[in-house]
A and B are shown apart, each in its own frame.
Chain A
Amino acid sequence: MLELDNIHTYYGHIHALKGITMSVPEGEIVALIGGNGAGKTTTLRTVSGMLKPREGRLTLRGKDIAGIPAHDIMHLGMSHVPEGRRIFPQLTVRENLEVGAYTVSSRKIIEERIQEGFKLFPRLKEREHQLGGTMSGGEQQMLAIARALMVDPKLLLLDEPSMGLSPLFVEAIFDIVVMLNKERGTTILLVEQNAQMALSVAKSAYVLQTGEIKLSGNAADIANDDTVKKAYLGED
């Protein structure tokens, strides 16, 4: 589905990604874990066109997408739930969803997907006409995911969906992630600080450290790796 081959990305002069190679196979959940500043968010931003890689190949379903701006990539069946949720605070829940469907032209399909989103997250239905910025963090995360689903993506990029949420909400969000993968077959690239949670739902995983892939493989194996346990799972 998605292939990164020796991707180098810079922020100004800062060499943020130093040759990332990874593969997200169709129908899988792939976790990308690592500490603060390791380059997890930069990787997702590079994939979705918010940043331009200086070097390397980036292909989505066989199509070279490096350098295509974010607003054009959305037409290719990929959706990005950004770090910090970034819902539109002064738009209502419904308007947020409608903006999410900006590239969809059929009003009927948009309405169907809004209703699907409400089925997935009944809480959003209750808040339909409330401004996005007035909701709790967990509700905003639900809205951010529902908004990303408005284009019926084949590939979903999730950046720290658990950040700042209560354990109850984290559980609920991860249930939805697994459900999307199982029932809709959505391929998911999941970036998480909550490594334990991410590794428990993913099939394969990559460990990122200061812009480089330190470890990759089966998620269960990575969860059992001693250095990973020490560094990211808080076990001795």
Chain B
Amino acid sequence: MDLSTLGPFLVGVITSGLVLGFVYAIIALGYTMVYGVLQLINFAHSEVFVTGAVVGFEIFRVLEPSPMNGYLKLLIALIAAMVASGMLNVIIERLAYRPLRNAPRLVPLITAIGVSLILQDVIRIIEGFQGRFDLTYKLPPAFNTNFCGADSSCEALGTALTKVGISLQIKEVIVVAVSLLSLALLNYLVNSTKLGRAIRAVAQDRVTAGLMGIDSNRIIALTFLIGGALGGISGVLFGMKFGTINAYSGFDPGIIAFTAAVLGGIGSIPGAVLGGLVLGVIQNLIGVTNVLGSILNIANLQAIDASYQRIGAFLVLVLILIFKPTGLLGRSNTEKV
């Protein structure tokens, strides 16, 4: 490669980083919403998300021989994953967190880690009984073809995109479209509905929300339902994008999405989205640093490869905690007395 290919190369890397970033963003929303109402990092969210990925895998597996439209299969997979992950999150809250509502904050945090470990093995056992460990998504073949590729009705657009460095598969376009739709729905729900106002009121002042007639336990449970459903969606998207998942697949994206939530400002919904996109792009850029090294002919850079990606995410986490603990879009609550 030489310098003339650098532009399109970077555009391609950033584009696929954004696709990945949308998945992180949707996962990060699950962390940030629960944090918003309970000031709890729900470490079990990574398994809630894997549950969605497993349910998505099962739906595509069972429906594989069916001649059904691929997008209909996708819709069924998404809905099933939302229901499964949402319900699971509600059950976790009811059994593990609600009894600890008045305990010191460290207690539910440790519990969350425990729930996470338990669920990992439950998922492994359930799939392991059927002789499966690595679950490879059986997507409708059309999803693996190029977006606006050869012989499609929008071939001209595809060619133009390829020229600037963007070449996406159908499934990646689906990831972005589903993410944007989820974000739009969540934004409407939180900012323009009665339930959304109640969620924000409980997040800001649970006791006073009670004086307004709001049953905060019910609102917290609904928040876990919504956060879990988002986890389910992101699980299916993650499975589609990476193809293969297993019971322990939640850890890495979970930690990165948590970092994204902190980067954007934990508790802030736009912050989680911004954080997810930034980390997706950073991760992909680090993954190709060796390629950049050879294009720019810098020997030291050529030694940095994809195994440094996690370092990148954690470096961001450390820097943000040192220099801007409230995150990019977070704000410290200022109250007048």
Spell out A's residues near B (CB within 8 Å): 48, 50, 69-72, 74-75, 79-80, 82, 84, 86, 88-91, 95, 98-100, 102-103, 133, 135-137, 140, 147, 151, 164
**Within the assembled complex, what's the spacing in Å between the Cα atoms of A82 and B208?**
8
Whether B333 lies near A82 (C-beta < 8 A) is no
Q: Which residue of A lies closest to B331 (CB)?
A: A90
Whether A164 lies near B337 (C-beta < 8 A) is yes
Spell out B's residues near A (CB within 8 Å): 194, 197-198, 200-201, 204-205, 207-216, 333-337
Whether A50 lies near B213 (C-beta < 8 A) is no
Partner of B211, one of A82, A84, A95: A82
**Within the assembled complex, what's the spacing in Å between the Cα atoms of A74 and B205?**
17
Whether A88 lies near B208 (C-beta < 8 A) is yes
Q: Which residue of B lies closest to A90 (CB)?
A: B204
**Within the assembled complex, what's the spacing in Å between the Cα atoms of A80 and B205?**
15
**Within the assembled complex, what's the spacing in Å between the Cα atoms of A95 and B191?**
10
Please give the distance in Å from B185's CB to the nearest CB on chain A: 20
Q: Would you mind naming 12 contact pairs between A and B with Cβ atoms under 8 Å apart?
A: A71-B213, A72-B215, A86-B205, A86-B208, A88-B209, A90-B333, A95-B197, A95-B200, A99-B209, A102-B212, A102-B214, A103-B213
Count of A-B contacts judged by CB separation below 8 Å? 79
Please give the distance in Å from B333's CB to the nearest CB on chain A: 6
Partner of A89, one of B215, B216, B334: B334
Q: Which residues from B are CB-within-8-Å of A95? A: 197, 200
Whether B211 lies near A99 (C-beta < 8 A) is no
Whether B213 lies near A75 (C-beta < 8 A) is yes
Top 6 A-B pairs, shortest CB-CB distance: A74-B213, A103-B213, A86-B208, A70-B210, A99-B201, A71-B210
> Apart from A89-B335, A91-B197, A100-B212, what 13 extra A-B contacts exist at CB < 8 Å?
A70-B211, A71-B213, A82-B211, A86-B205, A89-B204, A91-B204, A95-B197, A98-B197, A99-B198, A99-B201, A102-B214, A136-B336, A137-B337
Contacts A80-B211, A88-B204 hold; do A99 and B197 have CB atoms under 8 A apart?
yes
**Within the assembled complex, what's the spacing in Å between the Cα atoms of A71 and B201?**
13
Q: Which residues from A are CB-within-8-Å of B194? A: 98, 102
**Within the assembled complex, what's the spacing in Å between the Cα atoms of A93 and B336?**
15
**Within the assembled complex, what's the spacing in Å between the Cα atoms of A79 and B211?**
8
Partner of A50, one of B201, B210, B212, B214: B210
**Within the assembled complex, what's the spacing in Å between the Cα atoms of A1 and B13?**
70
**Within the assembled complex, what's the spacing in Å between the Cα atoms of A164 and B336?**
10
Contacts A50-B207, A84-B337, A164-B337 hold; do A91 and B212 have CB atoms under 8 A apart?
no
Whether B213 lies near A140 (C-beta < 8 A) is no
Q: Which residues from A are CB-within-8-Å of B204? A: 88-91
Q: Which residues from B are CB-within-8-Å of A133? A: 333-336
Please give the distance in Å from B209's CB to the nearest CB on chain A: 7
Q: Which residues from B are CB-within-8-Å of A90? A: 200, 204, 333
Whether A88 lies near B214 (C-beta < 8 A) is no
Q: Which residues from B are CB-within-8-Å of A48? A: 211
Please give the distance in Å from A147's CB to the nearest CB on chain B: 8
**Within the assembled complex, what's the spacing in Å between the Cα atoms of A137 and B213?**
24
Q: Which residues from B are CB-within-8-Å of A84? A: 337
Q: Which residues from A are CB-within-8-Å of B207? A: 50, 82, 86
Q: Which residues from B are CB-within-8-Å of A99? A: 197-198, 201, 209, 212, 214
**Within the assembled complex, what's the spacing in Å between the Cα atoms of A194 and B214?**
31
Please give the distance in Å from B212's CB to the nearest CB on chain A: 5
Please give the distance in Å from A163's CB to the nearest CB on chain B: 9
Whether B198 lies near A102 (C-beta < 8 A) is yes
Partner of B205, one of A75, A88, A151: A88
Q: Which residue of B lies closest to A147 (CB)?
A: B212
Whether A91 lies near B200 (C-beta < 8 A) is yes
**Within the assembled complex, what's the spacing in Å between the Cα atoms of A69 and B217?**
12
**Within the assembled complex, what's the spacing in Å between the Cα atoms of A169 and B56?**
60
